[in-house]
Amino acid sequence: MAVPILSLLLLFISIKSSADHVTNTFIDCLNNRSEPTFPITGTVYTPDNPSFSFVYYAYIRNHVFYNSTTTKPSLIITPLHVSHIQAAVICAQKHGMQMRTRSGGHDYEGLSYLSYSNSTPFFILDMFNLCSVDVNIEQETAWFQTGATLGEIYYRIAEKSNIMVSLVEFALRLRLVDIAVEVESMGEDLFWAITGGGGASFGVVLAFSFKLVCVPSQVTFFDVKRTSEKGIINIAYKWFLIAHKLDNDLFVRMSFDVVTNRKGMKSIRASFPSLFLENSTRLLSLVNDNFPELGLRESHCVEMSWVESTLAYAGSWLEHPSRLYFIELNNLKEIDHSRSNQTT
């Protein structure tokens, strides 16, 4: 028995050292290829770096993959400058490393950070440092780099104006590394290529330009909840009939979860988190004329700015009224844990 175990061990050691060798020559190449004025050294995390796990897990948004058997990358590069991305692509090709580009890490299948092959070494090009948001209120546009989260984008826009927001549908231009493209003239192939959705991407998108749209300075948020089972069926049925026919500026969403009452009994709960793009003046009669089953009352309605409504939607408003905060990378892990049941 001793001999096969020993040879397995030797095989394992030789695979590991050849992987280490690839990683080391790859890192040499990165250093050689990056511009001396923007050294790449501090942006490269190898598994022996104490922050490696934190950086790796921080943007794993599907918690099915948040486990120790997931194949880890040989390294993570967190570019601070476009030359780091160029060096990563050139060196990956030269040294047979696969690359995963990760922006938000929300991909359902985890394609931005997983590899299903144990034999081909791969690394993550993690864009989270490239998160600048440049808002131009006069032109009603904003450029943001792909590492920016929606929260960062909304926050930066709200710093300059509480009557403008960006909508994802309004993409105008994007900057692939080395090329700038107008969305209207990019052609279908490039459009589909840059929307991701594959293990291997077409290029690395550095930034997007978006059109801003106007919203009123005050919008109204409400979140009616119902737990009586009989009531839920009636309300849900009515919602299916009318939700899409309501005023264009009124969005009533329906979602379900399970709650435990004081006696320890479980029951289903329906929630109707909703946003009206106006102050509350017209809202009560609008809802009660079309959807009286909901039982909307004035006390449910809270007027706030649009950016505050994004927090209300995320469920944080009622716990921290009137507190807008900028979530730093350090807080992400904690927040993710509390939401882990939403990411499956």
Ligand X SMILES: *[C@@H]1O[C@H](CO)[C@@H](O)[C@H](O)[C@H]1NC(C)=O
Ligand Y SMILES: Cc1cc2nc3c(=O)[nH]c(=O)nc-3n(C[C@H](O)[C@H](O)[C@H](O)COP(=O)(O)OP(=O)(O)OC[C@H]3O[C@@H](n4cnc5c(N)ncnc54)[C@H](O)[C@@H]3O)c2cc1C
Q: Which residue is nearest to ligand X (CB)?
A: 70
Q: Which residue is nearest to ligand Y (CB)?
A: 104
Q: What is the chain's Cα-based Rg? A: 25
By CB under 6 A, how many residues form the interface with ligand X? 13
DSSP state letter for 278: S
**343 is an interface residue for ligand Y by CB under 6 A:** yes
Cα within 13 Å of Cα(115), Cβ side: 18
Amino acid at 36: P
- Report 165-204 residues binding ligand Y (CB under 6 A): 196, 198, 201, 204
Fill in the per-residue mask, 95 to 124: x = in contact with ligand Y (CB under 6 A), - = not in contact.
Answer: -----xxxxxxxxx--xx------------
Contacted entry of ligand X, ligand Y, none for residue 343, CB cut-off 5 to 8 Å set by kind: ligand Y
- The minimum distance between CB 98 and ligand X, in angstroms, equals 15
Amino acid at 332: L
| Residue whose C-alpha is closest to residue 141's, from 83, 196, 183, 96 | 183
Q: Which CB, 160 or 253, lies closer to ligand Y?
A: 253
Only one of the segments 5-13, 67-75, 76-84, 185-193 lies at the binding site for ligand X (rule: CB under 6 A); that segment is: 67-75
CB 170 within 8 A of CB 213: yes
Only one of the segments 61-69, 206-214, 254-262, 332-340 lies at the binding site for ligand X (rule: CB under 6 A); that segment is: 61-69
Mention every residue, 6+ apart, whose C-beta is less than 8 A from residue 75. 23, 26, 27, 44, 45, 46, 47, 123, 124
Contacted entry of ligand Y, ligand X, none for residue 69, CB cut-off 5 to 8 Å set by kind: ligand X
Question: What residues does 268 pair with on adjacent strands?
Answer: 258
Q: Which CB, 123 or 208, lies closer to ligand X?
A: 123
- The minimum distance between CB 67 and ligand X, in angstroms, equals 4
Length of the chain as a residue count: 344
- The minimum distance between CB 101 and ligand Y, in angstroms, equals 4
Contacted entry of ligand Y, ligand X, none for residue 104, CB cut-off 5 to 8 Å set by kind: ligand Y
Q: By CB under 6 A, name the one of 83, 146, 218, 280 that touches ligand Y.
A: 146
Number of neighbours of residue 160 by Cβ within 10 angstroms: 13
Q: By CB under 6 A, name the one of 278, 313, 315, 329 that touches ligand X.
A: 278
| Residue whose C-alpha is closest to residue 304's, from 325, 318, 284 | 318
CB 143 within 8 A of CB 117: no
Q: Which CB, 114 or 312, lies closer to ligand X?
A: 114
CB 136 within 8 A of CB 161: no
